[in-house]
């Protein structure tokens, strides 16, 4: 404790230089925390994607699939549940308040999406209410919706009566316990959507979502489905939820390599600039170091003071940088919508630990030359400069 004033005095000797040093290290660790935090979050989101959930879409994008494919797909060995889905996009009250409704079989939908939390009686109420809807908890919080409310959704899909406004009666609310913000859809009855839309020629299914018995059998089930409808007027393209996530992740590029390359480049530049700045600072304090040695401070103590001073600066700046990166990561929610997968937006503990370890390493390496200079400095040589 008695050496803290000496360390603090050394840090504050050149306030402007110390401030610039803190600034450049902080910026470097903001970049480190943001890149590595996002990379780890994406990897965790990727690992959370299910391999036992499959998607079946039309090989020709945009074409609907016949609804009678449901029974044929369910007959394939390994398929437990087949759920047809359509989508209705619209706005609530204002064009900027964009909402998506999933037209589906409610029981099948929630049987596949087991990470959803919803009461069974609400699912039964939706099946019995033609215009019913179970809304996501995030939508309920955002717009103040609650069971019993009637929701108008303005869309571009006309109904048989000529209106483009679809009315829903809220019968329940579902949640994602592990990802609250992701509960942002309206779940509606596919029968209501299919029978009420004006363009019956476009009647069909946008995609089928399947649950299979064993994730290891996914490739065989996918091949069996696509082979069954090969050379038909409506050929299919099937893939697992995990494959879909991997494809979206690859579309963004190799973020892991980018993060490593950028981090390595930044830290190399930081090592050179910080080391040079610290070395110049120590040289300007030659006389002070000589005085410390003259009044009885050992070489070990002097070197320790120099090293602790440098390491303290690096750790403090790294901590500030990681805190700033942690505060910035929630803005990655935009990327969540882009990837259409749950994304961890908090700073992963591994990134914090790696950042502090890098800061400690940086401090030790940058302190090596100044400490060596202080160790080899002779008292007579140092005091001679003062004279």
How much is the pLDDT for 271?
77
Residue 45: per-residue pLDDT: 65
Contact 330, 345 (CB under 8 A): yes
Which stretches of the chain score pLDDT less than 70?
Answer: 1-14, 41-49, 180, 200-203, 244-256, 280-300, 302-303, 330-346, 373-387
- The set of residues, in sequence order, having a beta carbon less than 8 Å from that of 75 and lying 6+ positions away, is none
Tokens of 76: 């394939």
Q: Give the per-residue pLDDT at 338.
A: 44
Question: Residue 351: how many CA atoms within 13 Å on its side-chain side?
Answer: 30
- pLDDT, tens only, 296-355: 666 667 667 777 777 888 888 889 988 888 887 766 555 444 444 445 556 778 888 888
pTM: 0.62
pLDDT value, residue 270: 76
Query: Are the C-beta atoms of residues 325 and 34 closer than 8 Å to each other?
Result: yes
Question: What does the pLDDT read at residue 199?
Answer: 73
Q: How would you label 46-66 residue by residue, b for 16+ Cβ within 10 Å and e otherwise?
A: bebbbbbbbbbbbeeeeebbb
Rounded CA-CA distance 25/310 in Å is: 12
pLDDT for res 339: 44
Which of 123, 179, 163, 165 is closest to 147 using CA atoms? 123
Cβ pair 329, 30 in contact under 8 A: no
* Per-residue confidence (pLDDT) for residue 141, from 0 to 100: 93
């Amino acid at each position: 404790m008695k050496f803290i004033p000496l360390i603090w005095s050394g840090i504050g000797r050149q306030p402007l230089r110390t401030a610039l040093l803190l600034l450049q290290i902080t910026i470097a660790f903001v970049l480190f925390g943001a890149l590595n935090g996002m990379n780890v979050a994406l990897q965790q989101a990727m690992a959370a994607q299910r391999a036992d959930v499959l998607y079946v879409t039309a090989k020709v994008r945009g074409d609907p699939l016949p609804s009678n494919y449901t029974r044929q797909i369910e007959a394939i060995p390994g398929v437990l549940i087949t759920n047809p889905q359509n989508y209705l996009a619209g706005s609530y009250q204002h064009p900027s308040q964009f909402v998506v409704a999933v037209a589906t079989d409610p029981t099948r939908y929630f049987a596949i999406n087991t990470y959803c939390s919803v009461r069974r009686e609400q699912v039964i109420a939706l099946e019995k209410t033609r215009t019913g809807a179970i809304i996501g908890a995030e939508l309920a919080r955002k717009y103040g919706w609650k069971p019993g409310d009637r929701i108008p959704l303005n869309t571009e899909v006309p109904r048989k009566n000529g209106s483009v406004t679809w009315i829903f009666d809220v019968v329940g609310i579902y949640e994602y316990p592990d990802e609250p913000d992701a509960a942002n859809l309206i779940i509606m009855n596919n029968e209501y959507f299919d029978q009420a839309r004006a363009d019956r020629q476009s009647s069909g299914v946008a995609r089928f979502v399947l649950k299979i018995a064993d994730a290891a059998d996914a490739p065989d089930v996918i091949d069996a489905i696509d082979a069954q409808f090969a050379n038909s007027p409506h050929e299919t393209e099937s893939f697992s939820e995990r494959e879909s996530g991997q494809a979206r992740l690859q579309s963004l590029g190799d973020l892991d390599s980018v993060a490593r390359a950028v981090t390595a480049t930044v830290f190399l530049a930081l090592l050179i600039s910080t080391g040079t700045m610290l070395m110049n600072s120590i040289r300007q304090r030659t006389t002070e170091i000589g005085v410390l040695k003259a009044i009885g401070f050992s070489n070990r103590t002097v070197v320790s003071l120099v090293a602790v001073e440098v390491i303290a600066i690096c750790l403090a700046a790294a901590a500030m940088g990681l805190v700033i990166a942690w505060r910035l990561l929630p803005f990655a929610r935009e990327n969540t919508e882009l990837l259409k997968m749950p994304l961890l937006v908090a700073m992963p503990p591994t990134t914090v630990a790696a950042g502090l370890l890098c800061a400690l390493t940086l401090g030790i390496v940058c302190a090596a030359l100044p400490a060596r200079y202080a160790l080899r400095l002779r008292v007579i040589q140092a005091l001679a400069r003062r004279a």
